[in-house]
């Protein structure tokens, strides 16, 4: 039983300011309590923000070399706790152990390594004749992160913030807080100066709202649902702080009509099911030529049938979804797909056979879906794929773009040039061609209601910087 009953503020582990209130954290594979955390208050956020403000004066003035040294120490300590982090992720949100070890935890290391490489050569100053353009740290940053890829979303914010000279207050998801707490232990062990990094556990309406609205916070970066992102923006508006958001998605995956069709369909199903479908950029809407719908159904059924579901500490490919709230929502949406007339290819409501405990969802595929159906419009956030038909490539692009979201999109084709032309017309922040991915320098973020701003690589640095123009910095010599 884990007990994380203190917050990390100003370089020390401290008790909650207003007495101990706790929240049980459930293991979604067993439906049993795995630990508890203290719930923070606005007073705890205030302490953390003031500590970050105090630390900003000195941290913002550190040299590139000093920040590189600190990032290197964080990376070393992170590597030491790799196993602890992997165990925590599996326990708190149900990621299969192999996924935690090969993706969930390593991606945090990837962001640290990327920040180090970018920082080595990043230009914080630019001469423009008589004017000097300077990029300066924005100040105190508030981070509100989700449960589905907990370390990815913590480190993709913290690493560039550290690199650019910002200080910060983190609220990890209260649903999956264990890995975030261990990350704070890593920051302490790495000797990050007091106040530069602070952590307060708590829920969105209390701690999240306090961070978003706090006058000492200059920038808030939020990852989560579009609904919650709107509330963050509203809370931030009175203090006119910068708001960066990575929100929901309903990503199209256009499979073109060529010899690579079957491979593209299979790849799309496998990608969709990863992390039990709990990825904001998952390719949830597969678009196939209507004349090849039957072929797509056959390939999708075979691929989904091969996906094993079960104990995340075993050899299963899919663990449970994160909690009962998500499980119930997914079941309701699967039923909506059935009720609205989509063809249920495989899966459906209820737990997979042989699993009577844990929030396990059957890998589910619907075919003959139209873009007006609920399952084609709403973000399901589970292992549920919708296959839609199209008559022409132009119609496929129109259907793909016919969504309020614009986080990601996918194109599958044996003809790279055709795939590139389709990718260019999709309104999304990131488009993957033929399974392309893994570029830690590629900017990540969305169009439309999928958010604003960009994370990852050098693009992330700009989110944490203000631009100052110093006119007359290098005045012309007076004529003799």
Residue 206 to residues 15, 213, 227, Cα–Cα distance (Å): 17, 11, 16
Q: Of residues 92, 174, 246, 379, which has the active-site annotation?
A: 246
Which candidate, 91, 165, 116, 70, places its Cα nearest to that of 320? 91
Q: How far apart are CA 100 and CA 104, in angstroms?
A: 4
Q: Which residues of 350-361 are buried (b: 16+ CB within 10 A; e: fewer)?
A: ebbeebeebbbb
Q: Would residue 69 show up in a list of annotated catalytic residues for this protein? A: no
Structure tokens at 333: 């949406």
By the 8 A CB rule, do 455 and 156 touch? Answer: yes
Q: What is the 3-state secondary structure (H, E, C) of the chain?
A: CEEECCEEECCEEECCCCCCCEEEEEECCCCEEEEEEECCCHHHHHHHHHHHHHHHHHHCCCCHHHHHHHHHHHHHHHHHCHHHHHHHHHHHHCCCHHHHHHHHCHHHHHHHHHHHHHHHHCCCEEEECCEEEEEEECCEEEEECCCCCHHHHHHHHHHHHHHHCCEEEEECCCCCCHHHHHHHHHHHHCCCCCCCEEECCCCHHHHHHHHHHCCCCCEEEEECCHHHHHHHHHHHHHHCCEEEEECCCCCEEEECCCCCHHHHHHHHHHHHHHHHHCCCCCCCEEEEEHHHHHHHHHHHHHHHHCCCECCCCCCCCECCCCCHHHHHHHHHHHHHHHHCCCEEEECCCCCCCCCCCCCCCCCEEEEEECCCCHHHHCCCCCCEEEEEEECCHHHHHHHHHCCCCCCEEEEECCCHHHHHHHHHCCCCCEEEECCCCCCCCCCECCCHHHEECCECHHHHHHHCEEEEEECCCCCCCCCC
Q: How far apart are CA 192 and CA 115, in angstroms?
A: 16
Q: How far apart are CA 256 and CA 241, in angstroms?
A: 43
Structure tokens at 84: 């602890």
Which candidate, 331, 308, 77, places its Cα nearest to that of 185? 77
Q: Would residue 156 show up in a list of annotated catalytic residues for this protein? A: no
Q: Of residues 77, 166, 280, 455, which has the active-site annotation?
A: 280
**Tokens 């104990």, located at residue:** 311
Annotated catalytic residues are 246, 280
């Amino acid at each position: 039983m884990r007990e994380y009953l203190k917050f990390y503020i100003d370089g020390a582990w401290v008790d909650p300011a207003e007495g101990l209130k706790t929240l049980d954290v459930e293991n979604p594979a067993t439906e049993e309590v795995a630990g508890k955390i203290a719930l923070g208050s606005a007073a705890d956020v205030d302490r953390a923000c003031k500590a970050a403000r105090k630390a900003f004066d000195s941290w913002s003035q550190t040299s590139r070399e000093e920040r590189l040294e600190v990032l290197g120490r964080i990376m070393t300590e992170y590597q030491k706790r790799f196993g602890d982090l992997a165990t925590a992720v599996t326990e708190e949100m149900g990621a299969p152990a192999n996924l935690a070890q090969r993706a969930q935890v390593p991606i945090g290391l990837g962001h640290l390594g990327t920040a180090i490489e970018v920082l080595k050569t990043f230009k914080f100053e630019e001469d423009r004749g008589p004017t000097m353009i300077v990029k300066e740290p924005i100040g105190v940053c508030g981070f509100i992160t989700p449960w589905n890829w907990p370390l990815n979303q913590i480190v993709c914010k913290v690493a560039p913030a550290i690199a650019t000279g910002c200080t910060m207050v983190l609220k990890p998801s209260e649903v999956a807080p264990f890995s975030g707490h261990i990350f704070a232990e890593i920051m302490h062990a790495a000797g990050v100066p007091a106040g530069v990094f602070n952590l307060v556990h708590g829920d969105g309406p209390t701690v999240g709202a306090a961070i978003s609205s706090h006058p000492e916070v200059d920038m808030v970066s939020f990852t989560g649902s579009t609904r919650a992102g709107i509330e963050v923006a509203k809370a931030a508006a009175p203090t006119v702080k910068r708001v960066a958001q990575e929100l929901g998605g309903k990503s199209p995956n256009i499979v073109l009509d060529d010899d690579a069709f079957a491979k593209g369909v299979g790849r799309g199903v496998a990608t969709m099911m990863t992390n039990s479908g709990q990825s904001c950029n998952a390719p949830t809407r597969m678009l196939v030529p209507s004349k090849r719908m039957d072929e797509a159904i056959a390939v999708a059924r075979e691929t989904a049938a091969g996906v094993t579901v079960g104990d995340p500490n075993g050899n299963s490919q899919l663990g449970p979804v994160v909690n009962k709230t998500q499980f119930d929502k997914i079941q309701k949406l699967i039923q909506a797909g059935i009720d609205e007339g989509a063809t249920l290819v495989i899966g459906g409501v209820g737990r997979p056979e042989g699993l009577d405990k844990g929030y396990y969802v059957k890998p589910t595929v619907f075919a003959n879906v139209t873009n007006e159906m609920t399952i084609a419009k709403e973000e399901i956030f589970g292992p549920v794929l919708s296959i839609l038909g199209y008559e022409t490539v132009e119609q496929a692009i129109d259907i793909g773009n016919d969504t309020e979201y614009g986080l990601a999109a996918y194109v599958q084709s044996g003809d790279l040039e055709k795939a590139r032309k389709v990718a260019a017309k999709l309104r999304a922040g990131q488009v993957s061609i033929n399974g392309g991915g893994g570029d830690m320098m590629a900017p990540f973020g969305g169009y439309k209601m999928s958010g604003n701003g960009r994370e990852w690589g050098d693009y992330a640095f700009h989110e944490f910087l203000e631009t100052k123009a110093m006119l007359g910095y290098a005045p012309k010599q007076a004529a003799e």
